């Protein structure tokens, strides 16, 4: 039975990864300090004998007894609201936390999987974004605490791969949504859905022409699993290449929730907000045989149903 450690495993994506690995016959250990994760996300797993939860900050020294075959490093606040409320924690977990997790992978002979982000591309000057694009990032801007932290995490991961021979994988995640997102997350899906369900104005920041590409969580986790069990190192983009403007997306949410909310416009919350975000997934298709399967309407219906139960 393979054994995996998931840092940040009580978070939105981490908990869905737990579900997938347990279905694949893994034993799963989660480490999470719960600053953005929640035990509610993994409550259904607590009685599973193949599952173990450890409340711990992986920016500290990591010890885990027994063999470990895979380390999935997902720990990190990732929402725009976190960039101003948790900037030091973001920098620490992506630098110190990545270093500690890589050290454990080296000691255990484990495969190390880094959950990186499309934010390493910054406000891109290349569209769609290919893995070879080096990015347009402001290191001293508000978003820099996340963008540059993830860029460093990729650098130290590749250093351990090249210098220490650690088997590493890097995935670059594009906008993902689904059940178990925080309602107060600050990202566009919980913002729009929460406002629509409460009958509040749906706030579009900027002029609404900026674009995003939305991938449903189970599709993304399938990409994770395929990369982790492949011979590829990456980085590899995983996301849905169907691009929508924020104004179009707000209208989608309004229609699916049958809400009477008005769509209103407000100034951008943070400078350097990317104007376009769309993954080139050629590598994922050709090297992993992966592409998204869940339609936006189907995924949003599942997400809206989840949030109805939270409001």
SS3 sequence, 92-120?
Answer: HHHHHHHHHHHHHHHHHCCEEEEEEEHHH
Q: Catalytic residues, which ones?
A: 146
Rounded to 5°, the CA angle 78-116-71 comes to: 105
Residue 85, both tokens: 């409320």
Residue 59, both tokens: 């920016």
Q: Which DSSP letter does residue 122 get?
A: B
Distances from the Cα of 186 to the Cα of 117, 191, 273, angstroms:
17, 6, 14
| Of the candidates 266, 247, 275, 254, the residue with the CA atom closest to the CA atom of residue 205 | 266
Polymer length of the chain: 311
Using an 8 Å Cβ cutoff, are 224 and 238 in contact?
yes
């Amino acid at each position: 039975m393979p054994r995996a450690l998931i840092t940040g495993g009580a978070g939105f994506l981490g908990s869905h990864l737990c579900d997938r690995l347990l279905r694949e016959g893994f034993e799963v250990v989660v480490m999470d300090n719960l600053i953005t994760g929640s035990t509610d996300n993994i409550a259904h797993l607590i009685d599973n004998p193949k599952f173990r939860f450890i409340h711990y900050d992986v920016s500290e020294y990591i010890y885990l007894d027994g063999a470990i075959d895979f380390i999935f490093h997902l720990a990190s606040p990732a929402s725009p609201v976190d960039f101003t409320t948790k900037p030091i924690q973001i920098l620490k977990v992506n630098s110190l936390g990545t270093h500690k997790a890589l050290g454990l992978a080296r000691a255990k002979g484990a495969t190390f999987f880094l959950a990186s982000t499309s934010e390493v591309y910054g406000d891109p000057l290349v569209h769609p974004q290919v893995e070879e694009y080096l990015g347009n990032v402001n290191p001293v801007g508000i978003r820099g605490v996340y963008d540059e932290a993830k860029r460093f995490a990729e650098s130290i991961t590749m250093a351990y791969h090249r210098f220490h021979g650690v088997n590493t994988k890097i995935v670059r995640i594009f906008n993902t949504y689904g059940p178990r997102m925080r309602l107060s997350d600050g990202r566009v899906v919980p913002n729009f859905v929460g406002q629509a369900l409460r009958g509040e104005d749906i706030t579009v920041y900027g002029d609404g022409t900026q674009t995003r590409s939305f991938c449903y969580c189970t599709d993304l986790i399938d990409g994770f699993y395929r990369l982790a069990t492949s011979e590829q190192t990456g980085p590899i983009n995983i996301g849905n290449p169907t691009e929508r403007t924020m104004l179009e997306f707000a209208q989608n949410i309004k229609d699916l929730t049958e809400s009477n909310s008005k769509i209103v416009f407000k100034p951008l919350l943070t400078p350097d907000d990317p104007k376009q975000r769309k993954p080139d997934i050629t590598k994922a298709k050709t090297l992993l045989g992966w592409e998204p399967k869940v339609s936006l309407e189907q995924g949003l219906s599942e997400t809206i149903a989840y949030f109805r139960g939270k409001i």
